[in-house]
Amino acid sequence: MAETAIRVREVMRTELITLEKDEHLTLASDLMKLGRIRHMPVLSHDRLVGIVTQRDLFRAAVSSVLGFRPAAEREWLTKIRVAEVMTKDVVTAGPDWPVSQAVDVMLERCIGCLPVVDGERLVGLLSETDCLRLLARFLSPAGTSAGVVSS
């Protein structure tokens, strides 16, 4: 019996918090901290134009080098727009891709997520965490949660 590949659409997150390219990094920083989010797609007129990651914020927040206090760091981030630090050449996946194909791309490119697009429309985000949850399902005995905590 042939096994059907699990598709990205079955694993990806569809409830996304996104940014607009003209917003300031303080908003990105606040949303990432509050929502415990590491990747945020950036839109312009509902079209994916980039992605901001925690790593981008770390690079932009030179506070560790300059010794800024939190208030000074926040002030610094209000001066930087999302478009200035976002990754513009975003690698994406399609909702009908096999998850194994998406994982191969993430490993090859050393990236932690793939925005999922259907045509020009952002429909989800597949992250390392989503893939690990899928792996945990396969590795746990039937009927147990294997300590998987939903977030």
Write out the chain's pLDDT in tens, 151 residues: 445 799 999 999 999 999 999 998 889 989 999 999 999 999 998 899 999 998 888 777 665 556 666 677 667 777 788 898 899 999 999 999 999 999 999 999 999 999 999 988 999 999 999 999 999 998 987 655 555 544 4
Residue 146, in any domain of the structure: no
Q: Can you give the CATH number for the domain in which 123 is found?
A: 3.10.580.10
**Structural domain of 54:** 8-139
Residue 104, in any domain of the structure: yes
**pLDDT the model gives residue 94:** 97
Q: Write the DSSP assignment of 44-108 as a string of letters.
A: ETTEEEEEEEHHHHHHH-THHHHT--HHHHHHHHTTSBHHHHSBSS---B-TTSBHHHHHHHHHH
Domain count, the chain: 1
pTM of the model: 0.81
Residue 89, in any domain of the structure: yes
